[in-house]
Amino acid sequence: MASNPAIALRFQRADLQAAAGLSALGKALLAETRGPQDLLSTLTGNGHFVDAINALALMLPHRQSVWWACLASRLVPGLESRDAELAAVKAAEDWVQTAAPEAAVAAGRLADACADDGGPYWAAIAAFWSGPSLAPPGIEAVRPAPHLPGVAVRTALTFVTLDPALAGRLAPGDLLDIGIDLMHGNLGRAPQAALTARLASA
Its sign, for the CA torsion 16, 151, 180, 161, is positive
Which of the 8 DSSP states describes residue 164? Answer: G
Q: What is the pLDDT of residue 135?
A: 87
Its sign, for the CA torsion 97, 103, 104, 107, is negative
Give pTM, 2 decimals: 0.95
Q: What is the pLDDT of residue 3?
A: 59
Q: Of all residues in the chain, what percent carry a pLDDT higher than 90?
A: 88
Q: What is the pLDDT of residue 136?
A: 81
HSE (side-chain half, CA atoms, 13 Å) at 65: 31
Q: What is the DSSP string of 7-71?
A: SPPP--HHHHHHHS---HHHHHHHHH-SSHHHHHHHHHHTT-HHHHHHHHHHHS-HHHHHHHHHH
Greatest Cα-to-Cα distance within the chain, rounded to the nearest angstrom: 51
List, in order, residues 6 or more apart from 54 with CB less than 8 Å away. 20, 21, 22, 26, 154
Which residues in the chain come in under a pLDDT of 70? Answer: 1-4
Domain boundaries, the chain: 65-171
pLDDT for 89-101, tens place per residue? 999 999 999 999 9
Q: What is the pLDDT of residue 11?
A: 95
